[in-house]
Amino acid sequence: MGILEKISEIEKEIARTQKNKATEYNLGLLKAKLAKYRAQLLEPSKSSAAKGEGFDVMKSGDARVALIGFPSVGKSTFLSLMTSTASEAASYEFTTLTCIPGVIEYKGANIQLLDLPGIIEGAAQGKGRGRQVIAVARTADVVIMMLDATKGEVQRALLEKELESVGIRLNKSKPNIYFKPKKGGGISFNSTVTLTQCSEKLVQLILHEYKIFNAEVLFREDCSPDEFIDVIVGNRVYMPCLYVYNKIDQISMEEVDRLARRPHSVVISCGMKLNLDYLLEKLWEYLALTCIYTKKRGQRPDFTDAIILRKGASVEHVCHRIHRSLASQFKYALVWGTSTKYSPQRVGLTHMMEHEDVIQIVKK
């Protein structure tokens, strides 16, 4: 039996047991056991139980959003409010122990929302279930960092540091540097812009530090040494993040106003259902999904039923969405919208679609 199963067995037994003098001792014992198993689950350990149990949630829908935050900031309350899934919420820390998926339906899209256990300082080193939580966060399209508005700025800085330390870059784009290790020929260094933070000498020093002696480097942007290191190391995740300050019902109007003006920030109260619509609007913006409308020959486009795709989708992606075999019967497509020079324009399967394009597919 896994730890999670043991926990739920004990919880059930506690619920079944009537509280009175005679059961007092037994209940105490059960609660102690429960605390022990919870602690085990939250401990950094090599056992398979602590590793991934309860975190292997299938990706589904059009996009995935992960809820990251300290314990008891209101992540589960939020999931239960926004989706038809109920996730247990309570005033004690680490109420949530696994990954709990729900679905937000918005503008015709299904957005998978993942409730996760709280994480704390040291999460990246394996404190609590930090590693598992961060591993799930890496798979998301957008992270919602939920913060307790009554706790000020501390939580945000601490969590940013944790995510930063495992290669997650929030609200940053991939540095525009071309980097290619070579077999020989030394280091060739070039830049298309004036560099104020890096020099050829520094770049060489950094490369030597990583035991790279032959490579081609081209800076197309005025990047910092840290950004250059990110490019060398690779394996970085560049992710949009919304900082959501919850529990604003507990703070002054002045403080609400101050937090709301911070970059990438939204203030809400799950308790009083404040500003949740605005949060959804912002989330939609950060997801930056592409809506494509289809049109039949001689008819108007169907604006009621969009095909929703991630950014960077091609005509082929649209075909697959309509029918499995459509791409193989594809002759050409006519596209109206910002992705083409002419409206309509005849395009092939590799043409990249843009938000709100209209497409008419012609079969062989």
Ligand X SMILES: Nc1nc2c(ncn2[C@@H]2O[C@H](COP(=O)(O)OP(=O)(O)OP(=O)(O)O)[C@@H](O)[C@H]2O)c(=O)[nH]1
Instruction: Write the binding mask 47 to 76 for Mg ion: x where contact by CB under 5 A, - elsewhere.
Output: ----------------------------xx
Q: Does residue 179 contact residue 210 with C-beta atoms inside 8 Å? A: no
Among 10, 72, 112, 137, binds ligand X (CB under 6 A): 72
- Find the helix or strand (DSSP H, E) in which 284 lies: helix 276-287
Chain CA centroid to CA 351, Å = 27
Beta bridge partners of 347: 333
Among 63, 67, 82, 96, binds Mg ion (CB under 5 A): 96
Stretch that binds ligand X, among 40-48, 73-81, 166-174, 320-328 (CB under 6 A): 73-81
CB under 5 to 8 A by kind: which of K ion, ligand X, Mg ion, none does 250 bind? ligand X
Paired tokens of 182: 């070579």
Q: Does residue 240 contact residue 143 with C-beta atoms inside 8 Å? A: yes
- Least distance (Å) from ligand X to the CB of residue 168? 19
Q: Show contacts with ligand X in window 211-250 (CB under 6 A).
A: 246-247, 249-250
Among 40, 85, 95, 345, binds K ion (CB under 5 A): 95
Nearer to ligand X, 102 or 118 (CB): 118
The label of the residue with tokens 């529990």 reads 247
Instruction: State the Cα–Cα distance between residues 84 and 43, nearest whole angstrom.
Output: 31
Paired tokens of 180: 């290619």
Beta bridge partners of 361: 333
State which amino acid sits at residue 156: R
Nearer to ligand X, 158 or 352 (CB): 158
Instruction: Name every residue whose Cβ is closer than 8 Å to that of residue 310 and which is 6 or more positions away in sequence.
Output: 62, 63, 141, 289, 290
Instruction: Write the binding mask 158 to 197 for ligand X: x where contact by CB under 6 A, - elsewhere.
Output: ----------------------------------------
- Least distance (Å) from ligand X to the CB of residue 219? 42
Nearer to ligand X, 131 or 247 (CB): 247
